[in-house]
Amino acid sequence: MNKPIKVGIIGQGRSGWGIHAAFLRTVPELYEIAAVADLIPERVAEAANDLGCKAYPEAESLIADPDIDLVIVATYNPTHAKYAEMALHAGKHVVCEKPFGLTVVDVDAMVAAAKEAGRVLVSFQQRHYEPDFLKVKEICESGVLGDIVRVRICWHGFSRRWDWQTSRAMAGGNLNNNGPHPLDHALSLFGGAMPDEVWAEAGGWLRSGDAEDDLKFILKGKGRPTIEVELTSVCACAQERWLVCGTRGGLHGTTKRLDWKWTDFSKMPARPLDLASTPDRSYNSETLEWKTGSWDAPVAEVNAGAGAAPPAGPTERFYRNLRGVLDGTAAPTVTLEQSWLRAAVMERIRAAADIPVAAGRG
């Protein structure tokens, strides 16, 4: 067994402390939290005392630490690319929180720095490992539902928010805050290609800042399903997370349970076009024989929703895959090409919904 990877975490907020540090401390055989950095002294002191690691008052000092192998960037959104590039140029591997650069220019610079340094760069897309998404993807790709025509993904909630993530100057808003996750799911189900068309609209209703808390976008492409995503904080009557429409059946459900049904038209009479009047002025009708399937998420894998700690399963799978990548025994589940595509589509969503982009890499 190789030695643990020595990790430095920049940022000790909800993500750096509540997700990354919370999990990594449970797998000391794989990763050792060697240092943390944060602008708030109390957070640094708490983390250093609790984790028994070095503490730095700013990112630059942590990045310069020669003992650090892997830097996790969990800072304010506009600084992701800046610190990721800095760490890569310092010879560190990097995990960068979403949105993983605010523009394609940001992502291109990060990727170039990783290639130049010969280091691993990955976007923290732990929700790519969520069991409900993986099951939906499995069913769609199995062909049991036929050709997938439409997919609807709903991230519905109802709440007011007034922190920095509601400020456009801080690159807040639903698109940057949580948008990378359902967009990652959507692009995977879309086939991993650039959409021919991107439609979007956004609004701000319950937030105290000026960023959007209501977002809807649609991806379309020839020969691909039309995928509709709603990511909103102004839906008090939430709908199910998943709806899939195929030419042989469909699927619906939540993060906790999925149900699907399908029929086999090959076992039924052919139905060529008939222009004659129907008997008794009736509509066409036939009896369909349905087959059904269902899936229930493991209890430990169910996301408790906003404000609660996320389940550890997806984060664990992300970091175990990353360890394999660093050891040279595995390929990244979410590639840099996928992360670049996501950033490019986010730019198109911003343009379509008139969402300004905050300054990146600074």
Q: What is the pLDDT of residue 84?
A: 97
Q: What is the pLDDT of residue 310?
A: 73
Assess contact for 202 and 212: CB atoms under 8 A: yes
Structure tokens at 275: 């222009």
Please, what are the averages of pLDDT over each run of 10 residues along the chain (362 residues)? Answer: 92 94 96 96 92 96 98 96 97 96 95 97 96 97 98 97 94 95 98 97 97 98 98 97 98 97 96 92 92 92 63 93 96 95 97 84 48
Q: What is the pTM of this model?
A: 0.95
Q: What is the pLDDT of residue 309?
A: 62
Instruction: Name the DSSP letter for residue 310.
Output: P
Give the C-alpha separation, 12 to 7, whole Å: 13
Assess contact for 161 and 328: CB atoms under 8 A: no
Kindly report, residue by residue over 31-72, the tens digit of the pLDDT: 999 999 999 999 999 998 999 999 999 999 999 999 999 999
Q: What is the pLDDT of residue 64?
A: 98
Q: What is the pLDDT of residue 362?
A: 45
Domains in the chain, please, with CATH?
5-127+311-353 (3.40.50.720), 128-301 (3.30.360.10)
